[in-house]
Every structure is written in C-alpha cells, then in structure tokens.
Amino acid sequence: MTVEEASDGSAWSREDDIAFERALANYTDESEQRWEKIAADVPGKSVEQIKEHYELLVEDVSRIESGCVPLPAYGSPEGSNGHACDEGGSSKKGGNSHAGESNQGSKSKSDQERRKGIAWTEDEHRLFLLGLDKYGKGDWRSISRNFVVTRTPTQVASHAQKYFIRLNSMNKDRRRSSIHDITSVGNADVSTPQGPITGQNNNNSNNNNNNTTGSAAVAGGGNKSAKQAASQPPPGPPMYGTPTIGQPVGGPLVSAVGTPVNLPAPPHMAYGVHAAPAPGSVVPGAPMNLGQMPYTMPRTPTAHR
DNA sequence: AGAAACCGCGTATGAGCCAA
DNA sequence: TTGGCTCATACGCGGTTTCT
C-alpha cells in the first residue's frame, strides 16, 4: 500500500499483502488472537503493523461509504453503461430486472436482451474482499449494503460465486487473468497473477493501439490484427499489462490494482479513473494503473510463425 | 443463499494471403 | 523464401438469470 509504506518504512511488499490478505481471510473476526495469527503469517510484520494496515483499508472503505470517494459511475461509454447507472441505484438489473421475472417464465431472451452487465472494477472487488472479510461468506446483503454499495446483494453473491470458483481453480494451467485473481485488498497484488481482468487488457499494447476497443469490440475481429502485431512483446509490462477492468471503454479506466481502495475519483473522470489519489492515502508514485500483472500469460513462442 | 445454466465479449492462436 | 498482416475460430471469463 501506500500510505504505510511511506509512513514507516516498513513497506509492504506484494508478498506481504498477499500473505496479509490470505491471513485475513483465514482468521475471521471471531478467531482468537486474530491479529497475532495474522502477524505470524506475514513475515516481518508486527501485530501493530498488521492492525495499522487493516485500519487503513477499513478507512478507505469508510471514505468510500461516506461518499468522499466517488464511486465509479459507470456510465458513459458506449451504450453499455447506459444502464449501468441505474444499476448503482439498485435497479441495475434489478430494476427492470426483475421485472424481468416476467421474462423468466419464458426466459426467452427475446423479450429482452440479457443485460450485458457491468464489469466489476477493481475497487469494487476490493471492497467486496473487505466485506467478505468482515461479514463472511453468505452475508451478501451486508456486504452490498456496507461495502460494495454499488452492487446489489444478488450481484455480490454472483460475484462471490465466480470468485470462489476462480479460487478453486487456481491452478489450472491455462488461465487468463481475471479480476478474481485479486485476492488482496491492499496493494494490488495479488496472489497470483492478476491480470487484466476482463481481458481488456489494453495492454497488449497491441490492442490498444488498435482499437482499444471501444467499439471495436467486435468480437474477434477487431483486434486481432493488432494482436499479432503485437506479437512483439510490449515493452514493459507483461502481457497483460494494464488491467482495466471492465472498462467500458470509455476511458482510461485505470485499474485499481495497485491502488488502494480509496481512490477518489476525480469528479470529472468518469468511471474508474482515479486519478487523484486521496491525499495521503495513496503513495505517490503508486502506479495507478496497475501494475504489472503478474500473471502474464506467457505467450508461447510458437505463436505465429 | 447457493449453485448452475445461459449468454455475450474479448483474447489467444492457427492458418492463409500478399508483398518485399 | 521470409516476414508482416488479416481472417477465422476456439476458449476462457464475467455477469445475469433461473432454479433449488
């Protein structure tokens, strides 16, 4: 994270964060001597440091909850978000959705297209992790209400479902990086590779170039070319460089990875772009965009000729 | 609340075509 | 012949909906 690092020199490395998050998940509030146990799992960190680290995270959440930190407003980019907005409110899907129920019967998508859904931002995911830690698995309502306020309990539950599935399949060889790879609230790290989440990695630099997809999205087609071109590895970041989670394309959505939960997003930035770190909360220099993704998928040399 | 199914999207890859 | 670019397709991921 950020702050802490600066503060006392006891910087938190990715590994530390990973260990911290894992321990946090392992030792719930009810655990006896929780902090001691967590500290024991995080090499080099004292109980005080652990507590501090946790408090910072909680603080970030509080800021967000209190409205100090604008939540991403999904909104604009292309159509997709149109609905997004509502979502936050509640309706997202819900709203109509359940109206949807009407359709349930038939489930025919015909009557209404299936909602595309709004990808979870890293911030939301981190909040989710914090909520999970605090309320535990199953209390999606509380998590939705107190942490991931932009998502309905149903969405939280759904996200949790995917998240746990992902965790369970952690070792599959061939995996793409996903937002669920982020297991730590803290710095970006992730235990494992984390990557670009939805794929949109713009990173491949390639893609970006081409189209960032904005519209492009045309599946398949659009980018491809880019990719290849891309065959050249992007300079810095690994393949999956910047994760931009679900970004709707609109802007640079920067991923939160690497950034603490609190990212106040500047009002003018719409979705995700956090530009300005909350004072003090983020360490300057912290990558706003993510860091690298550890999880880079090694591109097989074979590729293309 | 949990789990599974469904669906859309984007990425990764392999293959083909064309120009140098 | 080699290298670059484009096309086509399979696969994985994420989100929503529905069922239990």
Please state the length of chain A.
305
Is the model more confident about A184 or about A218?
Answer: A184
- Rounded to the nearest integer, the mean pLDDT of chain A is 53
- Strand B nucleotides, any atom under 7 Å from protein beta carbons: they are 1-4, 6-16
Which pLDDT value is given to residue A63?
58
pTM of the model: 0.46
| Contacts of A275 by beta carbon, 8 Å cutoff, 6+ apart | A254, A265, A266, A269, A288
Q: Do domains A12-64 and A121-171 have the same CATH topology?
A: yes
Which pLDDT value is given to residue A31?
67
A89-117 residues labelled b (16+ CB within 10 A) or e (exposed): eebbbbebbeebeebeeeeeeeeeeeeee
The DSSP H or E segment spanning A26 is: helix A14-26
- Measured at the CA of A54, the angle between CA A53 and CA A57, to 5 degrees, comes to 95
Going by pLDDT thresholds of 50, 70 and 90, the confidence category of residue A178 is: confident
Is the model more confident about A13 or about A65?
Answer: A13
Across the range A204-229, mean pLDDT stands at 35
Residue A15 has pLDDT above 70, yes or no: no
Residue A281 has pLDDT above 60, yes or no: no
Residue A126 has pLDDT above 80, yes or no: yes
Residue A305 has pLDDT above 50, yes or no: no
User: Percent of chain A beyond pLDDT 70?
Assistant: 30
Highest mean pLDDT among A2-11, A37-46, A230-239: A37-46
Q: What is the pLDDT of residues A220-275, one digit of tens each?
A: 333 333 333 333 333 333 333 333 333 333 333 333 333 333 333 333 333 333 33
Going by pLDDT thresholds of 50, 70 and 90, the confidence category of residue A186 is: low
Q: What is the pLDDT of residues A44-61, one digit of tens each?
A: 888 888 888 777 766 665
Whether the CB of A199 is less than 7 Å away from nucleic strand C comes out as yes
User: Percent of chain A beyond pLDDT 90?
Assistant: 0
Distance between alpha carbon A105 and the CA centroid of its chain, in Å?
34
> From residues 69-128 of A, which are strand C contacts by CB within 7 A?
87, 92-94, 96-98, 100-101, 103-105, 107, 114-120
Residue A65 has pLDDT above 70, yes or no: no
Break chain A into its structural domains and give their ranges. Answer: 12-64, 121-171
Residue A140 has pLDDT above 70, yes or no: yes
Protein A230 CA to nucleic acid B19 C1', in Å? 20
Going by pLDDT thresholds of 50, 70 and 90, the confidence category of residue A179 is: confident
> From residues 141-180 of A, which are strand C contacts by CB within 7 A?
154-155, 158-159, 161-162, 166, 169, 172, 174-176, 178-180
User: What phi and psi values does residue A286 have, to the nearest 5 degrees?
Assistant: -70, 145
CATH 2.60.40 corresponds to the domain A121-171: no
CATH architecture of the region A12-64: Orthogonal Bundle (1.10)
Highest mean pLDDT among A3-7, A59-63, A114-118, A290-294: A114-118
| Contacts of A233 by beta carbon, 8 Å cutoff, 6+ apart | A239, A299
AA identity, residue A46: S
